Amino acid sequence: MRLEHVELINVEVPLVSPFRTSFGIEYVHEVLLVHVITDQAEGWAECVAMERPAYSSEYGSGAAAVLREFFIPELMQLGDNLTAESIASTLHWAKGHRMSKAAIETAVLDAQLRATDQSLASYLGAVKDRVPAGVSVGIHDSIDALLTSVQGYLDEGYLRIKLKIEPGWDLEPVRVVRETFGADMLLQVDANTAYTRVDGPHLAQLDAFDLLLIEQPLDEEDIVGHALLAKSVQTPICLDESIVSANIAADAIEMGATTIINIKPGRVGGYLEGVRIHDVCAERNIPVWCGGMLELGIGRAANVALAALPNFTLPGDTSASSRYFAEDITEPFVLEDGYVRVPQGPGIGVTPIPETLARFTVNTERISR
Ligand code: SMG
Ligand code: MG
């Protein structure tokens, strides 16, 4: 395949309600889409870098810069020799920038699969045609407001609730949610690195609430700290930000820092590395689930395909489009009895609706060979 043109498209889509985490609050989803035009087919991907480098060191305009200055010209120079499978090794010289690498690899993979009429789900090794949906619930201004939100998601049919926590918003909201909605509800928490090693005894108090897991309590670089924490807390520790590759996943498991892993393809450099992490975990009996970065339909479609692999045994943050957006740029993903359907069409199986995409687009840049 030959890469002829790449469009970097900035879109801004309003959220149905603000989403607050321990590192900030988001009102509008600003995201970079990557649209590749090859000699054989076109492909789409969504770069999960957020507007500010707060979830990780990557951020939207930085992602566009590294794609424009380095990655796209280099892949164009490959001429006819471009394949999705060769991108990671071609760009291996560049340190980090995994979300940008993931975006260009996924867009090329989408084009390649469309050209050969294969779905991403079947290419990755999916074994399900629908996946159970969890929902991530942000930090609220009051416990009452939180309970109203959780009730609404349960009424919609979500099968698992994840509460965002931070110091000052942890034991009490978790206790009230557990007591209000009962022992059977699947419940977990995500701290997005908001705690430190001295918080072990405090976090151990969460053990009383029968949580599935505590996600990324400590700094992303503190794998040892998570291993120490795992000794003082009974609830399983699940790493998100820390796991940036299959090698790190294997090390973190070996050290006892994580017994469940959240896989986000953008964070790890793409879906191919995501499958490798899935396999590393499966070999070690470590369950995985698919994380989310508030994706639009383009990114959501690919995540749902990945979540259909066999070792994705916990519900992911693979919610319906309506969790975040009144209007998606593709056909929306909908909740059916708590599940989201795995797209079966060629490639990621969805494409943006041109008029809708145009309405949310704030800038398009075209890079040609
Ligand atoms: O897509 O539902 C989603 C987002 C789920 O909580 C979510 N993502 O750390 O897991 C995480 C966060 C990262 C983004 S928060 C703005
Ligand atoms: Mg997380």
Q: Could you give the count of Cα atoms lying within 13 Å of 69 in the half-sphere of its Cβ?
A: 8
**Around Cβ 200, how many Cβ atoms within 10 Å?**
18
Taking alpha carbons only, the member of 114, 131, 28, 85 closest to residue 273 is: 85
How confident is the model at residue 102, as a pLDDT?
99
Nearest CA to ligand 1 atom 5: 292
The helix (run of H) or strand (run of E) holding residue 368 is strand 361-368
Give the β-pairing of 3-21 and 24-38.
antiparallel
Taking only the tens place, the pLDDT of each residue in 130-183 is 999 999 999 999 999 999 999 999 999 999 999 999 999 999 999 999 999 999
Task: Give the mean pLDDT of 266-285.
Answer: 98
Taking only the tens place, the pLDDT of each residue in 243-261 is 999 999 999 999 999 999 9
Model confidence at 113, pLDDT cuts 50, 70, 90, reads very high
Q: What distance in angstroms lies between residue 240's CA and the mean position of ligand 2's atoms?
A: 5
How confident is the model at residue 57, as a pLDDT?
98
Say if ligand 1 is within 6 A of residue 56 CB: no
How confident is the model at residue 132, as a pLDDT?
98
Best mutation site among 190, 215, 241, 335 for ligand 1, i.e. most ligand atoms within 8 A of its Cβ? 190
Say if ligand 1 is within 6 A of residue 292 CB: yes
Across the chain, what does the average pLDDT equal? 98
Best mutation site among 293, 314, 335 for ligand 1, i.e. most ligand atoms within 8 A of its Cβ? 293
Best mutation site among 192, 241, 321 for ligand 1, i.e. most ligand atoms within 8 A of its Cβ? 192
pTM: 0.97
- In the annotation, is 95 catalytic? no
Q: What distance in angstroms lies between residue 325's CA and the mean position of ligand 1's atoms?
A: 14
Nearest CA to ligand 1 atom 12: 293
Taking only the tens place, the pLDDT of each residue in 60-72 is 999 999 999 999 9
CA distance 42 to 346: 11
Contact assessment for residue 58 and residue 49, using Cβ atoms and an 8 Å cutoff = yes
How confident is the model at residue 52, as a pLDDT?
96
How confident is the model at residue 78, as a pLDDT?
97
Task: Give the mean pLDDT of 173-202.
Answer: 98
Say if ligand 1 is within 6 A of residue 317 CB: yes
How confident is the model at residue 126, as a pLDDT?
98
How confident is the model at residue 338, as a pLDDT?
98
Taking only the tens place, the pLDDT of each residue in 209-242 is 999 999 999 999 999 999 999 999 999 999 999 9
Task: Give the mean pLDDT of 283-293.
Answer: 98
Q: What distance in angstroms lies between residue 294's CA and the mean position of ligand 1's atoms?
A: 6
Taking alpha carbons only, the member of 135, 121, 133, 126 closest to residue 339 is: 133
Say if ligand 1 is within 6 A of residue 274 CB: no
Determine what percent of the chain is predicted with pLDDT higher than 90.
100
Q: What distance in angstroms lies between residue 239's CA and the mean position of ligand 2's atoms?
A: 8
Taking only the tens place, the pLDDT of each residue in 17-37 is 999 999 999 999 999 999 999
- In the annotation, is 164 catalytic? yes
The helix (run of H) or strand (run of E) holding residue 104 is helix 98-115
Collapse the DSSP code of 20 into the 3-class scheme (helix H, G, I; strand E, B; otherwise coil) and give the result: strand
- One-letter amino acid of 254: E
Positive or negative, the CA dihedral 98, 100, 106, 109 is: negative
The helix (run of H) or strand (run of E) holding residue 143 is helix 143-156
Q: What distance in angstroms lies between residue 19's CA and the mean position of ligand 1's atoms?
A: 9
Alpha-carbon separation of residue 137 from 147, 151, 240 (angstroms): 10, 11, 16
How confident is the model at residue 6, as a pLDDT?
98
Point out the ligand 1 atom lying closest to the alpha carbon of residue 164.
6
State which residues have CB under 5 angstroms from ligand 2, the bound ion. 190, 215, 240
